[in-house]
Structure 1
Amino acid sequence: MTAPVVATAGSADPAAPLVVLLHGRGSHEREILTLSGHLPPELSYAAVRAPITEGGGFAWFANRGIGRPIPASLRTTMDWFRAWLDRVAAEGRPVILVGFSGGAAFAGGLLLDDPARYAGAAILYGTLPFDAGVPTTPQRLSGVPVLVAQGEHDTVIPRELLDRTWDYVTGDSGAQSTARRDPVGHGIAPEALGALADWLQEGPK
């Protein structure tokens, strides 16, 4: 795989917490970077383009159904991502993952694979990658700040996966969880975006 295409915004301070924005399936880095305009300006933002071409955009992994990554594909792209991240963010720099839809599953996979590497993760309108080769054991995310935002009327991500994600993050995972559901479909509610901004401002740094 080639080096990632990355779009940046926010603080240029190399010591500032780095928020990595991970777009949904079929989208691209410039689209999700627009979120940064609504988030704390003192943080650094890097929106990464997924490595797999998908329609008119890009995807993080091959899947066997919506929200169900093929384990070997997820492993390959997670390793690719980590090689990039370890070049741009030294171990001491806080890194927060923010993923939407397919990017939420990818963010969840990264966090579950190596919880100590990240200062937190936001799983927005997506599922954790269950049964995809990463651990979802009790207390796996002990003490890690995790924000979950879901749409009550989301018909894109299977409801069983949304519910399983909610239950795991707020329960067995041991995460320091913040969770909300808004009366929307598969799109970020303004209130959820405000909650994300508050969560980044106050918490995982």
Structure 2
Amino acid sequence: MNNTPSSDPFGIPVVASRGGNDAPLVVLLHGRGARETDIIGLADELPSHLSYAAVRAPLAEHGGFAWFANRGIGRPVASSLRATMDWFRRWLDEVAPPGRPVFLVGFSGGAAFAGGLLLDDPARYAGAAILYGTLPFDAGVPTDPGRLAGVPVFVAQGLHDQVIPRDLLDRTWHYATVESGASAIARKDPVGHGIAREALTALADWLEERAR
């Protein structure tokens, strides 16, 4: 699935994949400082008839990789986010031409990246899951009311999350469930900064229903 030209400034994406090439594609986006091998295992807990691709973020950081430079936790630098989103879209348009349903599933920093991609081009995606992270507010992507009208969005947050600033979690919750116009399913679990088992089960059901 590594089809990006070698001249790309971020290089060819490193991708771990599961499943066939014809099914709807679920793109798994890892958290900051992690890598694709840390999140591809989620595919084992999600519908088996779908195709999965875990992409390694392009920026090396803290022994792992990041999706964008930031101004603080959950606050992307707009120019950095734009550059990495453009890089991702070049890869995606090669492996999943328009017409093949694509779902984004992002955790933590990957959630902000998934949110940026969705807000930048809502019509490109069949839906997005924002897991234990924030949407990228004030980072050069539109967040006007109604921006995600009718788009399926799944939001999961930890009640005891001490990593993502609470103001960003609250703003994400309100925007996703009220302002954006998305068809949103949202839940808060009694966990910290990690995926609750119940949330993963709900995510599997969400994908199953929308990717028939």
Query: Per the shorter chain, which TM-score range?
Result: over 0.9
Residue 114 (structure 1) shift: 0.2
Residue in 2 that maps onto 1:157: 164
Q: 1:88 aligns with which of 86, 95, 99?
A: 95
CA distance in 1, matches of 2:82, 2:97: 22
Residue in 2 that maps onto 1:26: 33
CA distance in 2, matches of 1:125, 1:172: 19
User: Are 1:4 and 2:13 counterparts?
Assistant: yes
Aligned-pair identity in percent equals: 74
Q: Return 5+ residue gaps in structure 2 as ranges.
A: 1-9
Q: 2:145 aligns with which of 138, 151, 159?
A: 138
Amino acid at match of 1:4: P
Q: 1:170 aligns with which of 169, 173, 177?
A: 177
CA distance in 2, matches of 1:139, 1:21: 25
CA distance in 2, matches of 1:63, 1:35: 26
Cα offsets for 1:58-103 (capped at 9, x unmatched): 0000000000000000000000000000000010000000000000
Amino acid at match of 2:11: T
Aligned length: 203
Residue 15 (structure 1) shift: 2.3
Residue in 2 that maps onto 1:196: 203
Amino acid at match of 1:57: G
TM-score by length of structure 1 reads 0.98
> Which consecutive segments of 4 or more residues in structure 1 shift more than 4 A?
none
CA distance in 2, matches of 1:202, 1:77: 30
* SS in structure 2 of the partner of residue 19 of structure 1: strand
Residue in 1 that maps onto 2:5: none
* SS in structure 1 of the partner of residue 91 of structure 2: helix
Residue 27 (structure 1) shift: 0.2
TM-score by length of structure 2 reads 0.95
Residue in 1 that maps onto 2:125: 118
CA distance in 2, matches of 1:193, 1:116: 25
Q: Return 5+ residue gaps in structure 1 as ranges.
A: none
User: Are 1:59 and 2:66 counterparts?
Assistant: yes
CA RMSD of aligned residues (A): 0.7
* Partners of 1:145 and 1:204 within 8 A in 2: no
Amino acid at match of 1:81: F
CA distance in 2, matches of 1:192, 1:203: 16
Amino acid at match of 1:161: L
Amino acid at match of 1:104: A
Amino acid at match of 1:55: H
* Partners of 1:151 and 1:184 within 8 A in 2: yes
Residue 204 (structure 1) shift: 5.0
* SS in structure 2 of the partner of residue 171 of structure 1: helix
CA distance in 1, matches of 2:149, 2:185: 14
